[in-house]
A and B are shown apart, each in its own frame.
Chain A
Amino acid sequence: MSAANTPEKPKNPQRRKALEEMARFSASAAAACVLVGGLGQQSKALPAQALRPPGALPEKDFLSACVRCGLCVRDCPYGTLKLADWSDGPALGTPFFHARNVPCEMCDTIPCVKACPTGALEHSLVDIAKAKMGVAVITSRETCLNLHGLRCDVCYRVCPVIDKAITLERTHNARTDKHAIFEPVVHPDYCTGCGKCEKSCVLTQAAIKVLPREMAALSQDAHYKRGWVEKDKAGGALVDAPVKLPTRGLDAPAAPAAPPSGLPNSNWRP
């Protein structure tokens, strides 16, 4: 065996062994940490139908603040809130609710927020009508009874912020040509995302669902200027009105032409 192939004898074998061992164990601790961190990244995705309690910080901040103690769950008088098990979807041990199971009853005193020791539920929320747990959306226009021209109205009637968060907009029923359609329309500015509408939708699968606000209640792109809004803000037209040109040859109203005989005299005019 040549000298070049002989491994060099360590000068201090004990020190080398200790260093090796330390490297091994700090490496395994680091690996465990990375594993936990990776799991953390995974569990940041909140299922769309899992709602956080009122006053919850945006999901990312919520996960840095919530210590998963369950005090909000304990102080919820309606059993709405639940701590997430591994099979539930939201990050393990964090509070959530499914509107279709038990919606938020919007207590005036907001006990869940008061119970939160860390501020994961913001204590600055004192008016429950300002809660933003999500936003209701008619997710199925094809099955909503009101959109068929029936007067179900249940989502509208149960809404705690009735006539603000949900209004019924009357339109013409083109199918029967003589009835009205009372379309439930959600107004995200007022909707708290309590989920009472989703809970009480009479269909087997709710036609109205509460979705995360970042999915369904978006703010207008700043670079789109809507002329009518700008006009209102400025208190008048921002540009000169188009030049009024004289109308020629049409000054006198033309005599109505007699309908051709044989055709029904409808009042239809182009």
Chain B
Amino acid sequence: MAANLTPYIEAEEKKGFWQAHRFGILRRLSQLFFLALFLTGPLFGLWIAKGTIASSMTLNVLPLTDPFVLVQSLATRHWPEGLALIGAGIVLVGYLLLGGRSYCAWVCPLNPVTDFAAFLRRKLGITTSAKLRAETRHYFAVGLVIMSALTGMVAWELVNPITALHRALVFGTFFGLLPALAIFLFDLFVAKHGWCGHLCPVGAAYGAIGKVALLRVSAPARAACDDCMDCFAVCPEPHVITPALRGGKTGASPVILSADCTLCGACIDTCPERVFAFTHRFDARALEPRALATTPLPTCERIAS
């Protein structure tokens, strides 16, 4: 199967620019929004969120703490102040509702960097990629918790390119930009979706939340799929699509249940046939081929009707 290097084109023709790019645009806005919350303080003296994405305080009332950081700190046998525990609890509940790895696609400051590498890969026609196993990140995440217990320090924060980048942007620590640059080059030249899709332990941790998270992407109109492969070309975790999209014959749920899905919505954007849609975990509705053929309405409205 040749790699599809021209996704979105058919979608733009059939659905128009906005429908073919809306979640991509919304994601960039979301990422900018979460960064801006931290930047209005140092830039304009208007303090909204203080700290970094490792742990923050918004408007002096809302504490938020990264659960993976807290788990490592707990592994060192340090019992934190209530603020960090409450903060991690809020984040945990938030992502239980909003999809686990949605952190990766909608919040993580490193995502635009790796997305840009993936975009350039398609534009430059780079198809060679080192073989990595997606499970590596799970071993890595567990290993880091063990390493925290053994060394007595929050191990991943020594090198974490995500918080390093965030600190670089928010606190102006220059060297924090270097790991992000390394990951950009790695994703561009060494492995497709190499970092986020195979190695990042933070993504693996949010993926663990995603195993039971409520918000999901589904392929309710999978009967309309014409095998153009655009969704596989844009998806950062293409293996998650197959069971839902091709599960029609076996009667499998059209909901993408894999915790690896980042809920980026790129499949929804790029699909010219409007196969995909955001929904919740328990919404197993799939449209019959006959209903699709006879109904002229767009997919989302067909579901609603």
Contact = CB atoms under 8 A, between A and B. Distances in A.
Interface of A: 21-22, 25-26, 28-30, 32-34, 36-37, 39-41, 43-44, 60-61, 63-71, 73-75, 83-87, 91-93, 115-119, 123
B147 A33 contact: yes
Top 5 nearest A-B pairs by Cβ distance?
A: A64-B76, A29-B139, A69-B55, A33-B143, A86-B175
Given A36-B147, A117-B83, A119-B80, A68 B155 contact: no
Contacts of A25: 132-133, 135-136, 139
Interface stretch (B66-74, B113-121, B259-267): B66-74
Nearest to A72: B51
Contact of A118 (B80, B150, B155, B158): B80
A69 B50 CA distance: 9
Given A22-B135, A67-B65, A71-B55, 12 more contacts: A33-B146, A37-B151, A65-B78, A69-B65, A70-B167, A71-B50, A71-B57, A84-B173, A85-B175, A92-B157, A118-B73, A119-B81
Contact of A85 (B77, B136, B170, B176): B176
B78 A61 contact: yes
A105 to B, nearest CB: 20
A67 B69 contact: yes
Interface residues on B, range: 35 or more
Given A71-B51, A93-B157, A83 B167 contact: yes
Contacts of B51: 69-71, 74, 117
A153 to B, nearest CB: 38
Interface string B58-91: 0000010110011001001111110110010000
Contacts of A26: 139
Interface of B: 41, 47, 50-52, 54-57, 63, 65-66, 69-70, 73, 76-81, 83-84, 87, 132-133, 135-136, 139-140, 143-144, 146-148, 150-159, 163-164, 167, 170-171, 173-176, 178
Contact of B171 (A28, A44, A83): A83
